[in-house]
Structure 1
Amino acid sequence: MASSSSSHLPQSVFNPRRHVGVHAERVSDVSSTEFPGHYPGEDHSWNLAKFKQNLKVSVKRLSQRSVEFDLVGVDAAIANAFRRILIAEVPTIAIEDVFVFNNTSVIHDEILAQRIGLIPLNVDPRLFDFRPPGGIPMDRNTLVFKLNVTCERAKKGSSSPYINEYVKSGDLVWEPQGEQATVFASRPPAATNPDIVLAKLRPGQVIEMELHAIKGVGKEHAKWSPVATATYRLHPLVLLNPSKPVPPEHAQKFAKCFSPGVVEVSAAGEVSINERYLRTETMSREALRHKEFEGCVELKRIRDWFIFQVESEGPYTPESLLPESIKVMRGKIASIRAAAEALLEDSQHLGGGVGPDADGDVNMGGQ
C-alpha cells in the first residue's frame, strides 16, 4: 500500500522492512533473530555514522512527574534494556532500617515499617555511597529520620476532635549527621509527598521510631525504584489501500473503529488518516472484524520507533531519568570491556591466542 505524498511522517517509515504486521488474530514480521535488521546477501555491518543518523530522541510531553518521549532507530533489545534499567537499576534513597521505640497504634510494627520504607524521598542518590551489608552507618551512606507522633484530644470548638489523628510522611523529621547539614542546606531531606498517610491514631496512642535511609536499586526492593511506571509501545501505522477505498456509506463506521481523531471523514465521505493523532491509536483491530472493510486498510507497527511513558517517583526529574539509565548502561559496557581485555591479556601471558580448535572449543593459551 502506497503512502501519501503529503505525509508528515518520514518517508522511511513506510519501508516494509520497518513494519510489524498487525492482523485480526496474529502479528507478523516480528524480528526474533540474533542480528535483527540483517538480510542475506547484504552488508549491514555496524556503522557509527549511520547509527547517529538514524537515532532520534524526541520529547513529546513533559510535566513535573512524567515524560513521554520517542526513541527511534534502536532494536527492541536496547529499548527494553533501558526500560528494565529505569525500573530496577537506577539508584535512589529509601528507608531500610526502622528502630521502633514505641508503637501503640493498631498497625503492627512490621506493616508500619514496610509502609514507611515505600515513602519516596527527595534526596539525590549521587551524593551518597552504597552501604555494604553489615557496613557501618556513616554520614556518607546513611540518612537518619525521627518519627514521634502522639495523638491527643483537641479543645472544644476545634475543627477536628483530635490532634495528630493521622501520621503522615510529612511527620518525618530529618536529623543531620556529620557534614549533611552543610550538604543539604538548600534542600533538606524529606518525603516528596508530605501527605502520604501511614497510620491513624486515637487519643493516647503513640508512634516513636528512628529511621535509617540508604542507597539501593529497585532489583533489591521496589522501594528503591525511581519510577512509578516505565513502559513503551511501538508507534502505530495505519495504511489505507488506494485501490480499494472505504465505501462512503460506511466512512463514519470506519472512523469509529479507531481512536478519536485518527481517521478523518470529508463531507463527500472520503477517508484519510490524520498522522498528528496516529500515535494515540490503540490498535484495537476493530476495523479488521468487519467484512465491508476487508482489503481497505492495513495495520502496522514501526519496529524501531518506541513511544516511552515514564512517571518519576523520587528525586529525579522526569527528563533526567533516561540520561541516568544511559549512565548505568555505559557502566555495564565498561565492565564487560574491562573483563574482555583482562581475559585477552591473560591468554597472551599464557603464551597462546584465543581461538576455536578443530572441534569448535575455545583454546585458552593451550590450557
Structure 2
Amino acid sequence: MQSDIYNPRRHVGIHAEHISNVSSNDFPGHYPDEDNSWNLDLFRKKLQVKVNKLSQRSIQFDLVGVDASIANAFRRILIAEVPTIAIEHVYVWDNTSVIQDEVLAQRIGLVPLNVDPSYFEFKSASQEQATDRNTLVFRLDVTCTRKPKAAAARGAKKAEPEPEEIYNHSLVTSGDLTWEPQGEQNEVFASNPPRPTNENIVLAKLRPGQALSMELHAIKGVGKEHAKWSPVATATYRLLPLVILNPEKPVPPQHAEKFQKCFSPGVIDIDPVTKAVSVNEENLRNETMSREVLRHKELEGCVALRRVRDFFIFHIESEGPYAPENLLPESIKILKQKISTIRSAAEQLQVEIEGEPAVEGDVEMAEA
C-alpha cells in the first residue's frame, strides 16, 4: 500500500448520514502559496497501475493517481465504445419451434463471438453490400428427431427420461452455429476460426418434427448502439476504503468483538491477550463500508471511515474476443483518438477565428 495513502487531502469522508470532501483539491489556488498547476513529471510519478487478480475471463487492477473523470471515461469506453463482432442480420428459412422469429433472432444476436474485430471494417447504414471485410456468415441448421432405441430404453425405466436421452438435438445451443468462410476469410482465420466464446448457451428447445434453418450475418459494432456489441459483462470501479482507528480513544476491550463484526471478515484483528484491535491492511480492500460501526454509541469516536479519492479498484469481466488484460489498453487507444479529434477541431477553429477579417465594431473596441 502507498506510503501516503493516509494523507487526509486524498480522503473522502464517510459519515452516518452523509459524505464529505468529495471534490478534487489538486488545482491551482485551492491551497494558499502552493503551485498545483499541471506537471507531467509529477503526474507520471503519482500514476500507478497494478494488476491484483487475473483469470481467463476477468481482471482486477488498481488505477491510482487520476481524477474520477478519467477513471469513469475508461469505464464508459469499455462498455460502449470498444468494438466487437456480433450477429446483426438473421435470415430465417425455417422455424417450427415455439419461439417467435424476432425473439430467437434477439437471443442469437446476444451470443458473444470470439472474433478479432481489427480484421473487419465498420459497415455503414447506407452500405448494403456485404463483403468478406465487413461481414461474417454463420449457418444454423438443426432438426430434432427421436433416437432409434429410445422406445426400448424408455420401457425399461419407470422414471421419466430426460429429453436428451430420447431425442437428437432437443436443445439448440450456440455450439450449433457453423461458420461459412467468405472470400479470403478462410486464410485469415485459418488458425482461429470464428466461433462463440461459449458453446453451451441454450438458444431454443425442440421436439421431434421441429427444425431451425437460418443464415446469420455478423458485423462490427459498438456497445452504445446495442449491448450485444459490448466486450464486457461488467466494468466497475470503487474507491479504496480506509478504516482509521483513533489512538486517543481506543476501542474498549469488552466491545472488541462487536467492533470486529461491524466490518468485513479479515479487516479487523484482535489481540488474543490484550483484546486490542488493529486494521489488517492486506484485507482492507475487502471492506464494504456498511457504516454499521457508526450505529453503536459505545463505539462512537473510536474510528473514522474514509475512501481514497484517487485510488480506483477496477473489476472487469471480458465477454468477447479480448483478453482481460487487453481491455484497458484498448480503451486508452480510443480515448487518445478522442483527444486527438478535439485537438484538431480546436486548432482548426483557432485558424478560422484568426483568419477572419475584423469587423467595424471590433476595430473600435481594439482602439478603445
Q: Same fold (TM over 0.5)?
A: yes
Task: Assess if the C-alpha contact under 8 Å between 1:36 and 1:75 holds in 2.
Answer: no
CA distance in 1, matches of 2:165, 2:309: 57
Percent identity, please: 64
SS in 1 for 2:265: coil
What is the CA deviation profile of residues 176-229 of structure 1, one whole-angstrom value per residue up to 9, with x for unaligned ones? 111100000000001000010000001111100000000000000000000000
Deviation at 1:350, TM superposition (A): 2.0
Deviation at 1:120, TM superposition (A): 0.1
Task: Assess if the C-alpha contact under 8 Å between 2:27 and 2:36 holds in 1.
Answer: no
Give the corresponding residue for 2:67: 75
Deviation at 1:13, TM superposition (A): 1.1
Deviation at 1:25, TM superposition (A): 1.0
User: Are 1:278 and 2:287 an aligned pair?
Assistant: no
Which of 214, 220, 227 lines up with 1:222 in the alignment?
A: 227
Change (3 A) 1:56 1:352: farther
Give the corresponding residue for 2:157: none
Equivalent AA in structure 2 for residue 49 of structure 1: D
Change (3 A) 1:213 1:295: same
Equivalent AA in structure 1 for residue 264 of structure 2: S
Deviation at 1:243, TM superposition (A): 0.7
CA distance in 2, matches of 1:305, 1:311: 20
Give the corresponding residue for 2:76: 84
CA distance in 1, matches of 2:236, 2:198: 23
CA distance in 1, matches of 2:144, 2:327: 40
Task: Assess if the C-alpha contact under 8 Å between 1:167 and 1:197 holds in 2.
Answer: yes
Task: Assess if the C-alpha contact under 8 Å between 2:122 and 2:134 holds in 1.
Answer: yes
Equivalent AA in structure 2 for residue 39 of structure 1: H
What is the CA deviation profile of residues 300-322 of structure 1, one whole-angstrom value per residue up to 9, with x for unaligned ones? 00000000010000100111000
Which of 136, 141, 150 lines up with 1:143 in the alignment?
A: 136
Greater helix content: 2
What is the CA deviation profile of residues 56-98 of structure 1, one whole-angstrom value per residue up to 9, with x for unaligned ones? 0000000001000000000001100100000000000000000
Deviation at 1:345, TM superposition (A): 1.6
Structure 2's unaligned 5+ residue stretches are 154-163
Change (3 A) 1:145 1:111: same
Runs (4+) of structure 1 moved beyond 4 Å?
35-38, 356-359
SS in 2 for 1:276: helix
Give the corresponding residue for 2:174: 169
What is the CA deviation profile of residues 257-288 of structure 1, one whole-angstrom value per residue up to 9, with x for unaligned ones? 10111000002101100000000000011111
The TM-score, its normalising length taken from structure 1, stands at 0.92
Q: How many residues align?
A: 349
SS in 1 for 2:165: coil
Change (3 A) 1:346 1:293: same
Task: Assess if the C-alpha contact under 8 Å between 2:61 and 2:314 holds in 1.
Answer: yes
CA distance in 2, matches of 1:126, 1:341: 30
Which of 50, 54, 59 lines up with 2:42 in the alignment?
A: 50
Change (3 A) 1:102 1:346: same
The TM-score, its normalising length taken from structure 2, stands at 0.91
CA distance in 2, matches of 1:322, 1:125: 16
Which of 9, 18, 22 lines up with 1:17 in the alignment?
A: 9
